[in-house]
A and B are shown apart, each in its own frame.
Chain A
C-alpha cells in the first residue's frame, strides 16, 4: 500500500480508534457547519438566486409613498385610486399594478380552506410574469364576481380537475366563479398574516379605480408595483404626482392632506426584490458574519486539539523527516489522514443543515419571509466541501509546520536524554488568545443583542393583559364604513339640519350595543365563567385608528390614536390614573362626550406643564376628564404616542367583544366564534385571538432572535470550552514528564493540580484581558458604523464574560485533573 493510501486508511481507522480526536472534530465541526450551511443555503437561495415567480426582476420596482405613524412604523398612503391616477400620469414610463394580501378562508362544497387572498389589478400577472395554468387571463370584462385560484388550491379543493373553470367557491358569503388557475405565488410579504400556497386572486381594473370616490381612510396594505418598459420612475416623479394630486383633490381630501404632510411623508422607488428581501438580506449578512466567526472559532479550537495530537506524534514526524520525507509530503500525509473525518463532518453538517432548514419556518414562526424557497443546493454542497478541505489543509499545514525541524530531529537523536522542557509553543499561545478573543467578540455581540431582545420581551406594558380574548366582528347591512369626504360633509350637513340627529346617532349606537348584548349572551351561555367587558378597545391596539384634530385655543394640530373604551377599561386592565377621574358608568350609559387621554397627549396640550391643566379641555368635541399613564401599544412601543380613550359611538359596522376568563382557564375559541356567528343574522365575519396569542405573534421576531442568540451563546461557550480543553490538554501533555517526576518525588495530586493551574494563570489572564478588551473595542467600533446595534450594556457583558471565564476554568481544571489521574508515571516507565 502506498504512503498516501496508507495515510487515507489510517484516517478512516482513526474515526473509530481515536475517538478523543475524531469525536470532537465531528461534533464541533458538524454542528458549526450545520449552522454555517443553513445560512449559506439561505443566502444562496434568498440573495443570489432570482425570485421564483418574477420574470426580469431587475425592471420590477415597488413604489410607494409612506407616512410615519410612529418612530418605527411607516404606513403607505397609496390607495387603488391614487395608484390609478399615478399610473395614468406616468403610463409612458411602463406598467403599473397593485397588490394587497390578506389571509382568509373559502368554502368549496361546504369544506373550508384557509387561503392567502390577493386583491390585485387585472394586469398583475402580466406585469410580474406570473403563469396561467388553466382558464383565461384576467381582464376588465371577466374579473367581476370571478376568482382565480392557485395550483395548490386547485389540487386540494378541486383535485386538479380540468373542469374547475366555471365552478364556484364561497368567500365571505359571496359566490365567486373560478375563471382560471395560476401557479402558486410565493414572492410576497405577508406581514402578520399566515402565508398559504392555497391562494385566491380577485382582480380589479386599475384604470376604473381612478373614477372611484376619494377614500378618507388608509389601511396601508396596497403594494404598488411598476414594470419599467420605457423609462425609470423616480422618487421625484412620485413626489410630483402627489403634489399635483393634493392640488386636484384638495376639496375631497380636506384635513387629510395636512395629516399626510405633517407625518414625515416619503416617496420611495425600490426594486421589488429589495422590498421582499431587505430585512432578510441584512439578517442573512449578520448571520453569515456570525457563523463565519463561529466557524473560525471552532476551527481554532479544533486546531488546538490537532496540535496536541501532533505533538504526541512528534517522534513519528521526526522519523519521517529523517528518512527523507519533505515537509510537503508530511503535509499531504496529515491532510489525507484527516480527510475522512472532515468529509464525514461535511456530510453530517449538510444533514444538520437540511434538518435546520426544515424546521426554520417553525422556529421563526413565519417571521422570516420566503423561507420556503431555501433548500440545500449545489452551491451549499460546494461550500461545505471547500470549507472542510480548506480547514483540513490549514490544519495540516500548521500541525506539520509548528515544529522547529532541527529541534525535532535533535529531540529524536537525543530521545532518551533528559526531560522535555514542556514549554507551550508560541503558536499554541496565539491560537488560545485568538480563540478566546473570537469567543469574547461573539459573546459581546450576543450579550448586547440578547439583552436588547430580553428587554423587548420583558417591557413594562403599563397594564395587565389578563386572560383576554378579543373577537372582532364585522356586521352586515350596517352603515358604510368608508365614507368619502363628500359623503361625510353631506352627512354632517344632514345632521346639522336635523334636530334629532344626535338622538338618531345614539339610537344607531344603542342598536349596535343591542347586537353586542345578544352576542354576549350567546358567549356566556357557552362559557358562563367568561366576563365580557363593555369596553371594545384592546390594550395593545393592534388595530388602531389615528385622528388629527385641532386645539381650538392654540390652533395647534394633534395626531393621536383612538381607543374605544367604557367605564370598565381602566380597572380591568389596571391602568394608572394620573389626574382627573375615570369615565363613570353613568357617563358611559348616557353616552356623554367625555374622554381620557394618556400622559404623552396631556403633556402636548398642557398649557402650564401640569397634567391637571388639561382636565375639562375639549378636544375633538370631547371633554377630557382624566389622564392615564402611557401604556405599551404596538404603535407606540415604549416611546409614547398620544392616545385618546373614549366611547366611540360612530362605529356601528364592527363590534369588538373583549372577554376575560380567570387565569388558567381556556377559551373555547372555535365554539365561541361559531356561537357568535349563529347569534345574530347581521354577523358577517368573526376573528378571535387572545391577547397572549397576538403578543406572541408580535414579539415572535424578538423571541426568535433571543432563542437564536441564546443558542449561539451556548455554542460559543461550548467551543470556548473545547478550545480551552485542547489547549490545556496540549500543555499538560507537554508537562507529563514534569508531572511524573514531581509525582515520583512525592507530590500529591492536589499539589500537581495547583502547580499546573498556576502555570496557566499568566497565559489565561493575559488572554482574557486581550480578548475582552478586543471584543469591547470591536463592538463599540461597530456601533459607530451600525447605529441599529443595541446600546452597550456592562451588565450583560459582565454576565456573559463571567460565564466565559467560568467555562474556560472548568474546562482546564477537568482536563488537568483527568491527565493527573491517568497515570502520569507511565511517562517515566516508557523512557
Chain B
C-alpha cells in the first residue's frame, strides 16, 4: 500500500485573548491510496478541523503534514490553492455551490482554475455529472435542485479534477435517509473505483461502512478500527 497522506503530531490551537482551545492534540495518521476512512466523534471533538487541515483549508499550529509526497508546511497561499486544485476534492456539508452559476459551471470550476481547455472541461464535466446521475440538470441553477441533487453536484465537482484525495464533510447531514443512503452508495462506488475517501460523519451507520473508522475525542484519536481487507 502506498501512503497518500502522512500527518505526524498535528496540533491545532485556537486562541482568543487569553483563552486557548486545543482543537487537535498530537494527531498522527497515515492514509493509503484507495482507502475509505470515516472520522467520527461528538460535536466539537475536532473532526472538521482535522478535515480542514487535510484539505489545506487550515494550517496546523504545529506538526507535519505530507500529501502526495508534498510537504505542505512550506507552501504559500497560492501554492496551497494549486495543491488543493490538483490533489484534493472537497465536499462540504452545506454543499457550497455558487448560486449564480449553473450545475455545469459549478462542476467545471476546478478544471477552469487548472487552465484545462474548454473542450476537455465539457467532456469531463458531462462524464462526471453522468456518474452522479445529474446529466439532466446540466443547466439548472443550484436553487432549482433538491438537497440530495445539490450534494451529488458537489461530489461531481469534487471528483471532476481526478483528485488523489476526496474529503467529505458530513455528506448526509443535510439529507433525508433515502438521499443519504444514495450519496453513501455513490461514495462507496467511487472508492471501489479507486478513489481515496476521507469522510467526517457522526452517523454510526455510515461510519461503519468505511474500511477504517477513526473516533476523535477532545482533539485526540481515541479509537482506530480497521476492517479486514478481503
The CA-CA distance from A551 to B155 in the complex, in Å, is 106
Encoded as 1 (CB less than 8 Å from any B CB) or 0, chain A from 311 to 322 comes to: 000011011111
Within B60-99, which residues are at the interface with A (CB < 8 Å)? 77-78, 81-82, 84-86, 90, 92-94, 96-99
The answer to whether A326 touches B100, judged by C-beta atoms less than 8 angstroms apart, is no
A-B pairs under 8 A by CB, number: 83
Q: Does B118 contact A (CB under 8 A)?
A: yes
The answer to whether A324 touches B110, judged by C-beta atoms less than 8 angstroms apart, is yes
Residues on A with C-beta less than 8 A from B78 are 326-328
Nearest to A324 among chain B residues (CB) is: B85
Q: Does B58 contact A (CB under 8 A)?
A: yes
The answer to whether A320 touches B113, judged by C-beta atoms less than 8 angstroms apart, is yes
The answer to whether B157 touches A326, judged by C-beta atoms less than 8 angstroms apart, is no
Q: Does A784 contact B (CB under 8 A)?
A: no
Residues on A with C-beta less than 8 A from B98 are 315-316, 319-320
Q: How far in angstroms is the closest Cβ of chain B from A701?
A: 53
The answer to whether A410 touches B113, judged by C-beta atoms less than 8 angstroms apart, is no
Looking at A322, A325, A412, the one whose CB has the most chain B CB atoms below 10 A away is: A322
Q: How far in angstroms is the closest Cβ of chain A from B77?
A: 6
Partner of A323, one of B52, B77, B113, B169: B113
Q: Does B48 contact A (CB under 8 A)?
A: yes
Residues on B with C-beta less than 8 A from A1 are 118
The CA-CA distance from A323 to B98 in the complex, in Å, is 12
The CA-CA distance from A320 to B169 in the complex, in Å, is 17
Residues on A with C-beta less than 8 A from B169 are 413
With A322-B90, A323-B109, A324-B113 already in contact, the answer to whether A410 and B81 are too (CB < 8 A) is no
The CA-CA distance from A316 to B90 in the complex, in Å, is 15
Partner of B52, one of A319, A327, A409, A415: A409
Q: Does B51 contact A (CB under 8 A)?
A: yes
Q: Which range contains the number of A residues in contact with the other chain?
A: 20 to 34
The answer to whether A326 touches B92, judged by C-beta atoms less than 8 angstroms apart, is no
Residues on B with C-beta less than 8 A from A10 are 100
The answer to whether A409 touches B58, judged by C-beta atoms less than 8 angstroms apart, is yes
Partner of B58, one of A320, A321, A326, A406: A406
Partner of B48, one of A318, A405, A414: A414
The answer to whether A326 touches B81, judged by C-beta atoms less than 8 angstroms apart, is yes
With A413-B48, A413-B57 already in contact, the answer to whether A2 and B77 are too (CB < 8 A) is no
Residues on B with C-beta less than 8 A from A2 are 112, 118
Q: Does A48 contact B (CB under 8 A)?
A: no
Please give the residue numbers on chain B whose beta carbons come within 8 Å of chain A beta carbons, in ascending order: 48, 51-52, 55, 57-59, 77-78, 81-82, 84-86, 90, 92-94, 96-101, 105, 109-110, 112-114, 118, 157, 161, 169
Q: How far in angstroms is the closest Cβ of chain A from B30?
A: 23
Residues on B with C-beta less than 8 A from A409 are 52, 57-58
Q: Does A524 contact B (CB under 8 A)?
A: no
Residues on A with C-beta less than 8 A from B57 are 322, 406, 409-410, 412-413
Partner of A318, one of B96, B97, B100, B110: B96
Residues on B with C-beta less than 8 A from A309 are none
Q: Does A543 contact B (CB under 8 A)?
A: no
Residues on A with C-beta less than 8 A from B161 are 324
Closest 5 CB pairs of A and B: A324-B85, A3-B112, A409-B57, A415-B94, A324-B113
Q: How far in angstroms is the closest Cβ of chain B from A103?
A: 64
Looking at B78, B114, B169, the one whose CB has the most chain A CB atoms below 10 A away is: B78
The answer to whether B109 touches A413, judged by C-beta atoms less than 8 angstroms apart, is no
Residues on B with C-beta less than 8 A from A324 are 81-82, 84-86, 110, 113-114, 161
Q: How far in angstroms is the closest Cβ of chain B from A401?
A: 11
Apart from A3-B112, A323-B157, A414-B48, list 19 A-B contacts with CB within 8 A: A316-B100, A319-B98, A319-B109, A321-B81, A322-B96, A323-B84, A324-B82, A324-B113, A325-B81, A327-B77, A328-B78, A406-B57, A412-B57, A412-B96, A413-B51, A413-B55, A413-B58, A413-B92, A413-B169
Nearest to A325 among chain B residues (CB) is: B113
Residues on B with C-beta less than 8 A from A329 are 113
Residues on A with C-beta less than 8 A from B112 are 2-3
Looking at A321, A324, A410, the one whose CB has the most chain B CB atoms below 10 A away is: A324
Q: How far in angstroms is the closest Cβ of chain A from B174?
A: 8
The CA-CA distance from A325 to B157 in the complex, in Å, is 14
Residues on A with C-beta less than 8 A from B86 are 324
The CA-CA distance from A328 to B76 in the complex, in Å, is 14
The answer to whether A416 touches B109, judged by C-beta atoms less than 8 angstroms apart, is no
Q: Does A6 contact B (CB under 8 A)?
A: yes
Partner of A416, one of B93, B105, B110: B93
